[in-house]
Amino acid sequence: QKEVEQNSGPLSVPEGAIASLNCTYSDRGSQSFFWYRQYSGKSPELIMFIYSNGDKEDGRFTAQLNKASQYVSLLIRDSQPSDSATYLCAVMYGNKLVFGAGTILRVKS
Amino acid sequence: DVKVTQSSRYLVKRTGEKVFLECVQDMDHENMFWYRQDPGLGLRLIYFSYDVKMKEKGDIPEGYSVSREKKERFSLILESASTNQTSMYLCASSPTGGNIQYFGAGTRLSVL
């Protein structure tokens, strides 16, 4: 069984702080990793993807991948109340995308 | 922009009814997927399709079937709805060779 684990939270951070979201996965052979954001009652939307070890930055978002330790993380700098959502980590296993249960992020103004 | 449209946002059905959930995408994507999302369980793959008239089982196909007669349309069928199929259903699509999936708005199904 391919697994993707996330802390369900909620993770609470003050406005302007860095939010750090973490995800671990079970299969060392995985090559593709994704972060989706899901607002309450809405569908998931892709915010970042990463294929190689190291960091990938896009605006206030940085995805970090460590294949040796089998974890992927998402950093959100200068967190805003509008970042409050559930963040889903997803890992490609073969031809299937397996999702974690998501971490609830709350940014307090 | 990729657009994935699910026919209903909310549905209420009775136990034993046959239920059809429709999904249409407008980006000529080959791959289409049906997931259900439940609190604490995340998204779980029900069925997917890589081509017209082709289907493959996902992780939880029991109680469901699918139909893909046209490239742009992928239907999820609950042959005899049961209360444990009350859930949020999400359709997604992606292009061939592409890993990024684009989601529809979801259908919240309640089976009474």
Contact A100 B106 (CB under 8 A): no
Q: What local confidence, expressed as pLDDT, does residue B21 receive?
A: 97
Higher pLDDT, A8 or B72: B72
Distances (CA, A) of A48 to A28, A35, A85, A108, B66: 20, 5, 15, 23, 30
The answer to whether the CB of A91 falls within 8 A of the CB of A4 is yes
Give residue A96's pLDDT band: very low, low, confident or very high (50, 70, 90): confident
B54 to chain A, any CB pair closer than 8 A? The answer is: no
Q: What local confidence, expressed as pLDDT, does residue B42 receive?
A: 87
A100 CB neighbours in chain B (<8 A) are 42
Q: What is the mean pLDDT of residues A83-87?
A: 97
Burial class (CB in 10 A: 0-12, 13-18, 19+), B31: buried
Q: What local confidence, expressed as pLDDT, does residue A2 receive?
A: 75
Q: What is the mean pLDDT of residues A68-78?
A: 96
The answer to whether the CB of B108 falls within 8 A of the CB of B9 is yes
Give the Cα separation of B38 and B88 in Å (integer): 7
Q: What local confidence, expressed as pLDDT, does residue B99 receive?
A: 79
Mind listing the pLDDT tens digit for each residue in B54-98?
A: 999 999 999 999 999 999 999 999 999 999 999 999 999 998 877
B1 CB neighbours in chain A (<8 A) are none
Residue A94, pLDDT > 90, answer no
Give residue A52's pLDDT band: very low, low, confident or very high (50, 70, 90): confident
Contact A45 B103 (CB under 8 A): yes
Q: In what order do the strands lie in the sheet with B73-78?
A: B4-6, B19-25, B73-78, B64-70
What mean pLDDT value characterizes chain B? Answer: 94
Q: Between A and B, how many residue pairs show a Cβ–Cβ distance under 8 A?
A: 42
Q: What local confidence, expressed as pLDDT, does residue B2 receive?
A: 66
Q: What local confidence, expressed as pLDDT, does residue B26 receive?
A: 94
Residues 6+ apart with CB under 8 A from A72: A22, A23, A25, A33, A35, A50, A63, A64, A65, A66, A89, A91
Residue B41, pLDDT > 90, answer no
Give residue A48's pLDDT band: very low, low, confident or very high (50, 70, 90): very high
Min Cα distance A18 → chain B (Å) is 25
Residues 6+ apart with CB under 8 A from A94: none
Residue B53, pLDDT > 80, answer yes
Q: What local confidence, expressed as pLDDT, does residue A39 receive?
A: 95
The answer to whether the CB of A50 falls within 8 A of the CB of A72 is yes
Contact B106 A43 (CB under 8 A): yes
Q: Which of A49, A100, A102 is opposite residue B100, by nearest beta carbon?
A: A49
Residue whose entry in the numeric block shows the structure tokens 């990938």: A56
The answer to whether the CB of A100 falls within 8 A of the CB of A54 is no
Length of chain A: 109
Percent of chain B whose pLDDT exceeds 90:
84
The answer to whether the CB of A15 falls within 8 A of the CB of A105 is no
Q: What is the mean pLDDT of residues A48-52?
A: 92
Q: Which of A46, A49, A96 is opposite residue B45, by nearest beta carbon?
A: A96
Percent of chain A whose pLDDT exceeds 70:
99
The Cβ-side half-sphere exposure at A33, using a 13 Å CA radius, reads 33
B102 CB neighbours in chain A (<8 A) are 46
State the Cα torsion A94-B36-B39-A73 to the nearest 10°: 30
Give the Cα separation of B96 and B107 in Å (integer): 25
B97 to chain A, any CB pair closer than 8 A? The answer is: no
